[in-house]
Structure 1
Amino acid sequence: MDFSQLELSSKIGEGWKYPQPPLLDSGWLQVDEAPAHRLYWEEYGNRDGEPVMFLHGGPGGACAPVMARFFDPDRYRVILFDQRGCGKSEPNVASAGAAVALQRNTTDLLIADIEKLRDHLGIAGPMHVFGGSWGSTLSMAYAIAHPANCASLVLRGIFLGSKADLHYFYQGNAATWQEDPYGLATPGAYIHYPDEWRDFLAILTPDERQDVMASYKAIFDMVPATAEERERQLAAALAWSVWEGATSNMIPEAADTGKFGEADFALCFAQIEAHYFANALFLPPAHFEDNAATLASIPVHIVHGRFDQVCPLTQASRLVAALRGAGAEPASLVFTNAGHSAMERENALALTAIMDGLPRI
């Protein structure tokens, strides 16, 4: 058999239930000064429909029109927007630099941005809040701050962002990799993606691998003085971005890194993620567990890939346990035979089915 002819992919491809809806409207909304952060937003579906606020991942991942395909365009008014510092929002980390675009870029300010965007778009009552990965984190943080504005939370690839969660994905066996690259010194995503892990660590010296996240953050924080330093900073951003892009799919597509291999995307994605992770997501420890009663007052729908290595299933399990401890079952709980990406077929279809079945606002 010629294995080069096999086409292995878990992506949804042509399997979407709904076609790509046309763009209804778009624009920028200034939400802050010094720097003057402007959010780029787009609107799809039914102008008079039930509002859905789509919160993208990363942080720093940005939105794309295809993200409107999870929703019945006759029923829902879908709002996509790029969070501070990334995508088409301004100032952008890739173009303006991290020193500018990461000023006043915290979780509390992102929550305030959602409120300003709601007001700008005339959304007065409850809305559905839909987010995956970091988008699930921000969705829950928003719901804790503004529960009355949430008709439902539809969450995919739960990310709670504890030190252990980040260590699993970014540290793994890095400290001993030089001596024993295939050793199973500690749990981690590296076990399932050894070649991608090798490329991720290749940017760092053996000493720097003792604390991978801190070492990458130091590279991102550097003000390059030479062409070599600029090249290393870009290479680090690309390595960070491609590592997450590859591991987001149960079947990685090594020949096609997609947006994760594009310089501008990677510079935003990597530096914004490192900024939030170095600051514990700008949230108190155990924020979601401690506020489970508030989350339990809202219908919470969860879709999580059983083979997710970016945000392992234990994070969804911890959230479910917290909800049950507060006296509520998740309104939906679907563990798919998929990885992390929302664009994997089983995840995408499960999310669409949940949106189709929600009680109307």
Structure 2
Amino acid sequence: MDFSRLQTSSKIGDGWAYPPAEARKHGWLDVDAEAGHRIYWEEYGPADGEPVMVLHGGPGGACSPEMARFFDPARYRVILFDQRGCGKSEPNVAAAGPAAALAHNTTADLIADVEKLRDALGIGGRMHVFGGSWGSTLAMAYAIAFPQHCASLILRGIFLGAAEDLDYLYQGNAARWHEAPHALTAPGAYISYPDEWGELLSVLSVEERGDVMASYKAIFDMVPANEEERAKQLHAALTWSLWEGVISNMIPESASTGKFGDADFALCFAQIEAHYFANDLFITPGHLLGNAATLASIPVHIVHGRFDQVCPLTQASRLVDALRGAGAEPATYVVTNAGHSAMERENALALTAIMDGLPRLGA
């Protein structure tokens, strides 16, 4: 049988409106002398362009130059940076270990880092804040703390981080999977990605699957005493990372794991996520939607994939309901025929169209 005409990717491919670009400037900024944190940043576009602060996902996902392609290079001054503990920021979980990299690593710390980066780069007025997945969470938390600095919020793949949201992604039918792996005993991403789900659970014993996130975190918190334990920890990190990486695309690209299959990336991504998830994202439950009135005072643009299994569409629906309850419609609300990743074709096209259509600052 000939399957050669079937669609093999849902990513944007050569559909970008703007070409790849090189950073005009880059550097590191010391943000925490006590814990030794310094964050890596890059700047794209004209120095006098409208500033856009880009907040990457994860937590622990790091930024990449491709993230600058959503923005008109003649209009926007785009700031990318790696949040504490990941990417090129130091100390890095993979290089320095979690004890150093996760110290003073909370949402409040990351919000403070955005302010310090603004000041260091001379951004005195309002800026656009652009974030997806965890980046949408951090963008909303930042906007609640500093609404006066936000000209607009451009959010993709809304992540509210409630217990039910994390259970959908990491718990599902795990506790009873050994009895009936394909039984629909609870909602969860496992329904659409059963093989990948089996890989995630294969790291854990039947008993450990009663709380998947806690069991993985126990492996990540372990201080390896030998090569066997070190290998176990790395395998767990890679498995955690690949689970989210593969299911981020409506059409899984298992043969091309990209950054999610890189050992250093996986160690950062998995351990920082587990650190934040075990601590309610370091955000008081209900804080984001409870401050919908503040968010509603800023133009909020939302792009969310209908088939998103990392952050199901219900999370965007809850945010939209909260904004409407505060008396404001989202400035844009686009539900795309896509999955979670910003690099899914329809998500990338929608985000670019929003950025192209924003009213110019100062106009």
Does the TM-score normalized on the shorter chain lie above 0.5? yes
**1:30 corresponds to 2:30:** yes
- Could you tell me which residue of structure 2 aligns to residue 286 of structure 1? 286
1:126 aligns with 2:126: yes
Name the counterpart of 1:210: 210
Q: What is residue 311 of structure 1 aligned with on the other side?
A: 311
Q: Using the TM superposition, give the Cα deviation of residue 45 of structure 1 relative to its aligned residue in structure 2, in angstroms.
A: 1.0
8 Å contact kept, 1:147–1:294 = yes
Q: Mapping of 1:264-343 within 5 angstroms?
A: 264-343=264-343
Matching residue of 2:345: 345
User: TM-score, with normalisation over the residues of structure 2?
Assistant: 0.98
Q: TM-score, normalised by structure 1?
A: 0.99
Q: Does 1:112 align with 2:98?
A: no
Local SS of the residue matching 1:129: strand
Q: Structure 1 CA distance, aligned partners of 2:237 and 2:287?
A: 29
What is the CA distance between 1:23 and its match in structure 2?
1.5
Q: Summarize the alignment of residues 2-21 of structure 1 with structure 2, pairs less than 5 Å apart.
A: 2-3=2-3, 6=6, 8-21=8-21
In 1: Cα distance, 2:6 partner to 2:70 partner:
28
Once residues 279 and 71 of structure 2 are traced to their aligned partners in structure 1, the CA distance between those partners, rounded to angstroms, is 34
Secondary structure at 2:234 match in 1: helix
Match of 2:24, SS state, is strand
Provide the residue aligned with 1:170 in structure 2. 170
State the AA in 1 paired with 2:44.
Answer: Y
Deviation digits for residues 323-347 of structure 1, max 9, x if unmatched?
0000000000000000000000000
- Provide, for residues 124-146 of structure 1, a one-character-per-residue CA deviation record: whole Å limited to 9, x for no partner: 00000000000000000000000
1:33 Cα deviation (Å)?
Answer: 1.8
Cα distance between partner residues in 2 of 1:297 and 1:60: 29
For each residue in 1:100-155, what CA deviation from the matched residue of structure 2 results, as whole angstroms up to 9, or x when unmatched? 10000000000000000000000000000000000000000000000000000000
Instruction: State the one-letter code of the partner of 1:263.
Output: A
- Encode CA deviations 1:214-260: one digit per residue, 9 max, x unaligned: 00000000111122111110000000000000110000011111110
Note the alpha carbon deviations across 1:35-66, whole angstroms, 9 max, x for none. 21010000001111000000000000000001
Q: In the alignment, what sits opposite 1:63?
A: 63
Displacement of 1:7 in angstroms is: 5.1
Distance across 2 between alignment mates of 1:23 and 1:42 = 6
Cα distance, 1:166 vs structure 2: 0.1
3-state SS of paired residue (2:352): helix
CA distance in 2, matches of 1:142, 1:35: 22
Structure 2 match to 1:90: 90
> What is the CA–CA distance in structure 1 between the aligned matches of 2:21 and 2:251, rounded to whole Å?
28
Quick one: which amino acid aligns to residue 165 of structure 1? Answer: D
Amino acid across the alignment from 1:246: V
Tell me what 1:160 maps to. 160
**Aligned with 1:112: secondary structure?**
helix
d(CA) in 2 for partners of 1:33, 1:184: 50
2:316 is paired with a residue whose SS is helix
Structure 2, unmatched stretches of 5+, are none
- What is the match of residue 78 of structure 1? 78
> C-alpha offsets along residues 50-89 of structure 1, whole Å, 9 cap, x if unaligned?
0000000000000000100000000000000000000000
Q: Structure 1 stretches of 5 or more lacking a match?
A: none
Aligned mates of 2:6, 2:330 — CA distance in 1: 39
Structure 1 partner of 2:194: 194
Which residue of the partner structure matches residue 150 of structure 2? 150
Q: Report the CA distance between 1:34 and its aligned residue.
A: 2.7
> Is contact 1:238–1:263 with CA below 8 Å preserved after alignment?
yes
Instruction: Tell me what 1:53 maps to.
Output: 53
Where does structure 1 differ by over 6 angstroms across 4 or more consecutive aligned residues?
none
Q: What SS does the aligned partner of 1:217 have?
A: helix
In structure 1, what is the equivalent of residue 185 of structure 2? 185
- Give the Cα separation in 2 of the matches to 1:322 and 1:233: 40
Conserved 8 A contact 1:22-1:45: no
Give the match's secondary structure for 1:131. Answer: strand
CA distance in 2 between counterparts of 1:300 and 1:77 reads 20
2-structure distance, mates of 1:329, 1:108? 28
Match of 1:239 in 2: 239
CA drift at 1:32: 0.2
> 1:136: which partner in 2?
136
- Corresponding letter in the other structure for 1:26: H
Paired residues of 1:309 and 1:339 also in contact (CA < 8 A): yes
1:31 alignment partner, SS class: strand
Following the alignment from structure 1 to structure 2, what is the Cα–Cα distance between the partners of residues 161 and 59?
11
SS of the equivalent of 1:232 reads helix
Secondary structure, aligned partner of 2:52? strand
Backbone CA RMSD of aligned residues: 0.8
Residue identity opposite 1:76 in structure 2: Y
Query: Distance between the aligned counterparts of 1:49 and 1:248, measured in 2?
Result: 32
**CA offset digits 1:300-320 (Å, max 9, x no partner):** 000000000000000000000
1:231–1:5 Cα change, 3 Å: farther
Call closer, same or farther: CA 1:5–1:324 in 2, change over 3 Å. Answer: closer
